[in-house]
């Protein structure tokens, strides 16, 4: 059971963790959540979590193709 909780915890970020991960201010993230423009939002009771994989895909889609990434440089 503990292993399953750890796997879920690694997949879901709270808003503070997401802010640290993306360098987007917490207030901006809450605005995006309320406007439903942030992908991967999961509401658990009064808590908000965001799927890390959805954020990774979203950030990748925002990156221009012409800028090399560490994987394709």
- Of 60, 55, 56, which is closest to residue 72 (Cα–Cα)? 60
SS3 annotation, 4-17: HHHHHHHHEEEHHH
Task: Domain 2-62: give its CATH code.
Answer: 3.90.105
Q: Residue 22's beta-bridge partner residues? A: none
State residue 62's pLDDT score: 84
pLDDT tens digits, one per residue of 17-56 = 999 999 999 999 999 999 999 999 999 999 999 999 999 9
State residue 1's pLDDT score: 58
State residue 58's pLDDT score: 93
| Domain ranges across the chain | 2-62
Q: How far is CA 73 from CA 26, 62, 70, in A?
A: 32, 18, 5
| Whether the predicted pLDDT of 4 surpasses 90 | no
């Amino acid at each position: 059971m503990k292993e399953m909780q750890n796997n879920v915890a690694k997949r879901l970020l709270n808003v503070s963790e997401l802010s640290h991960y993306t360098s987007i201010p917490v207030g901006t993230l809450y605005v995006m959540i309320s406007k439903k423009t942030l992908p991967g939002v999961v509401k658990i009771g009064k808590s908000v979590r965001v799927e890390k994989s959805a954020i990774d895909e979203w950030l990748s889609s925002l990156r221009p193709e012409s800028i090399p990434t560490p994987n394709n440089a």
